[in-house]
Amino acid sequence: MIKLSGSRFTDIMPENLASQVETQAFAYAVGRQIEKLCAYSDAARTYAAIATMPEWLLDYMAVELRTPSYDENYSLKTKRALIQGSLLFYTQMGTPAAVNRIIETIFETGYIEEWYEYDGDPHHFRAYVGDGGEVGPGELEEFRRVLSSVKRLSSWLDDIITITAMDPDMVTFTGTMGKGYTSTPLPEAAVDYHLEDMIRAGGTFGTITQTAIPAAI
């Protein structure tokens, strides 16, 4: 199958005709005009071209469709997803499914919990956000704004619960050992001095001889 854009009618002509210079020049001129016509046709599409539409045109589309919770500061991916889901949102407007869809589109994770699921007051609900990502004060304020724009007026928000997921991991504690002294107590031994036994004393005796020398005359 030959694609209309980028093709030349010489591709389907016999070799003896397609090889002529005049025929090739004419095919090139016609092909350029067909490419322009295809480009104009693509630019005229709106709803069918949201996936390829430039960002500045997406902002106009959001105004025309009254896309809920739309913000021009969102990423290009989020803008496309919100605009593509605009008509579906209005068919489910006022239901928890519509609110969950908007939350998942903008924040990627999050959901709401109805009052009967946590023993709350009728017409109340609470929201969860942040499963798998970090949520700061700015994100919470934006989350509150989005909820206010898509929830029923008769519903009341009780709490916004942030979820932080932590991967299980092994924790290892290490340390260093310094010089130390080890003291080992010995069992106490009984001491018997035998105070009641007979004491014998002994030794050796020597002889001392004294010789007197006469005085000299």
Co-location of 8 and 38 in the same domain: yes
Q: Could you tell me which of 71, 139, 70 has the C-alpha nearest to residue 110?
A: 139
Is position 173 within any domain? Answer: no
**SS3 (DSSP) at 207:** coil
Confidence of residue 207 (pLDDT cuts 50, 70, 90): very low
Q: Is 130 in the same domain as 152? A: yes
Q: Does residue 39 sit within a domain?
A: yes
Residue ranges making up the domain that contains 139? 50-162
Count of structural domains within the chain: 2
Percent of the chain with pLDDT over 90: 3
pTM: 0.55
Relative to beta strand 111-114, strand 124-129 is antiparallel
* 148 and 70 both lie in a single domain: yes
Decide if 88 is inside a domain.
yes
Cα–Cα distance for residue pair 160/129, rounded to 1 Å: 7
Residue with tokens 């929201």: 127
Q: How does pLDDT run across 40-79, given as a tens digit for each residue?
A: 887 777 788 888 888 898 999 999 998 888 888 888 988 9
Angle at 94 between CA 92 and CA 97, to 5 degrees: 55
Residue 192 lies in a domain: no
Q: 162, 179, 204: which is the final residue of a domain?
A: 162
* Whether residue 86 sits in one domain with residue 113: yes
Task: Select from 95, 164, 86 the least CA-distant residue to 129.
Answer: 164
